[in-house]
Structures are given as C-alpha cells and as structure tokens.
Amino acid sequence: MSSELSQPFSIGGLSIPNRVVLAPMAGITNSAYRRHLKRHGVGLVVTEMVSAYGLIYANRRTEEYLDFAEEERPVAVQLFGDEPEVMGRAARLVLEREPRPDLIDLNLGCPVRKVTRGGAGCALGADAVRAAAVTAAVVGAASPRGVPVTAKIRSGLTPEQPNAVELARRLEDAGVAAVAVHPRAATQFYRGRADHELTARVVEALSVPVIASGDVYSWEIARTILAECGADAVMAARGALGNPWLIGELLEGRTFERPSLAVAVRDLLELLELARGQFGPERATRWLRKHLTWYLQPYPVPGTVVHELRKCPDDKALVEALESLPGTYGSQAV
C-alpha cells in the first residue's frame, strides 16, 4: 500500500525519490537527525539554516552546519541573509566545498527576532522586490554549477498582510525551482491553524512545484491538506519530533499505531548512536535530551523520570537508563 506521496518528483531537473520533505529546524536537523529520518524514508532533507555572513567570515560553527553524509542525498543547504551580494557569495562558498549539496534553499520565513532584526527570514520575505533580488543573486551563483535553488516562505508578516502569492511569483521569475509554503504569518509563529487555502493560491499562481508545510501531523491531515491545496509534496516538521514513524504513514497512506515503548527506546538509541558519531559522546548526550520528552510523552513514563533522564552524566548512563524503561513501564502507548 502506498500514497501519492511515495511517488518521485523533480525539482529543477533533480529527481527526489518521494514527496515527503524534512523541514529545516534549528537545533534539530543536524546530519545525525537527517540520516535518522532518511532511514525512516524521507525523500529530501534540508540543513539547519546557515548564516551567509557566518560563511563569509569563516565562522567554524557555521561551516559545521554544511557537513553532510552521502546517505543524506538528495540534501539541500538552507541559507539566510539579507543582501544580494552577500547571499550570492555565500552560495558560491557552499558550492565550492566538497561534497557539494544537491540544492540551495533560501530561508524567507523564519520569524525569530535574531534573524529578522537583520532583515533576513520573514523580514526579507515581506519585501518581495528585495527577496527577488537576493534570489536572483543566489540563482546566478548556483545555476552555472547545475544546482537548483528553492525557497521557504510564510504567508506574510501578519495575518492582515499576506503577500505569499506575490512573493512566490517574484521568486519564480527570479529563478527558483520550487517553493515551500508555511501559511502562517510571522506574528503567529506556530500558533493557530495553517491556512492551506493560501497554499492553494500559491499552487495556482506558479508553474514550479509547491511544497505544503504546516500541521502535517498524520496521514489523515496530510491527505486533507493535499486535497485542499493540490501541492506537489508535503514538509514534515514538528510532527516528526519524537515520531519518525510519521514518515512511513505519509508514504504508505495509512495511520500507524504508536509502536511499543521498547521500539521507541530502540529508535532513540539509534539516534544517539548517530549523534555520537557526529559530535562525540558528551555533546551527543546533551543534544539528545531535547528529544526525550518528544519520544516518551505518549507512554506511561512519569515526567519525573524523564527529568532524571536529562540529568544522566554521560552516554553510558543514559543508554542504561533508557534500556530499563520498557521493563518498568510496559510497552503500550497512552
């Protein structure tokens, strides 16, 4: 059994094996997490957002965001910035590295103040003319190397000022090969319901693929979104946190029962192992703490126990504590 999301599609001539995209999420979608979700079947992954200025000034941590493994392909690097010249230069720096990513994605939708106060993210998306100039500069850097450029946008700055359709048209004119639409305003952050009627208007306005983002928590919801807006693909974000089995739901076109606690713990340990390979045991253990509630909340594991898990001093103690959970708290989700 499979859904329409299991079918391949193309972005600027690049073949994507299926129509489920993993959203870029700050602090989450590092290489370990992307590889983990690839193993669960996701078709396209995107890095955490990468500062164009950080690349130009050779910031070590910024450059670390560009690292990826071959098993992640196809993979997109997401850039943010506000100046056409800076963004074009940053794109060239990305594409001069080996290995080279398959796509460059532009962040025109981040609502976080530390991004928007510099004129990037959704602040740039609110200025369609400037956003198109930035896009043209990145396309100019990427197209000679055969790398398509995509963009992720929001509905606008406020619910009263939607500009997604105008922005998307200008981005297509500037050369983007696909647009991901998160139809919430910047001021809404992640509150309220995503307005996929707006996504439908973007789909109608463009000839390039449109990816629907926002509220993708189950196959039933995704099916409703697709019927409502006619998008070419969906983007999984918060719905996949602690629930990588969502990817299988979307690809198979059916709702999965939550797996046993033993399976959830095993999946967490696999994620920890990947993170250890990327960061080393100490940093990986700290990073995994944020995933504990996401994974364990559906099970009868007391919050106090999860709190104690976060205090585990090292990876060995965390592994031992996690492995003890199924025998103590059973295997059924609640």
Active site residue 110: yes
Tens place of pLDDT per residue across the chain (334 aa) = 679 999 999 999 999 999 999 999 999 999 999 999 999 999 999 999 999 999 999 898 899 999 999 999 999 999 999 999 999 999 999 999 999 999 999 999 999 988 998 899 999 999 999 999 999 999 999 999 999 999 999 998 898 889 999 999 999 999 999 999 999 998 998 898 999 999 999 999 999 999 999 999 999 999 999 999 999 999 999 999 999 999 999 999 999 999 999 999 999 999 999 999 999 999 999 999 999 999 999 999 999 999 999 999 999 999 999 999 999 986 555 4
Query: Would residue 330 be called left, alpha or beta, if left means φ above 0 and alpha means ψ between -120 and 50 degrees?
Result: left
Contacts of 246 (CB under 8 A, 6+ apart): 216, 217, 218, 236, 239, 240
Q: Are 151 and 179 in contact (CB under 8 A)?
A: yes
Q: Which fold has domain 4-252?
A: TIM Barrel (3.20.20)
Which residue is listed with tokens 């719905």? 239
Q: Report how far residue 40's alpha carbon sits from residue 247's, in angstroms, rounded to the nearest whole number.
A: 6
Q: What number of H helices and E strands is found in the chain?
A: 15, 11
Q: Report how far residue 197's alpha carbon sits from residue 191's, in angstroms, rounded to the nearest whole number.
A: 17
Domain ranges of the chain: 4-252, 261-328
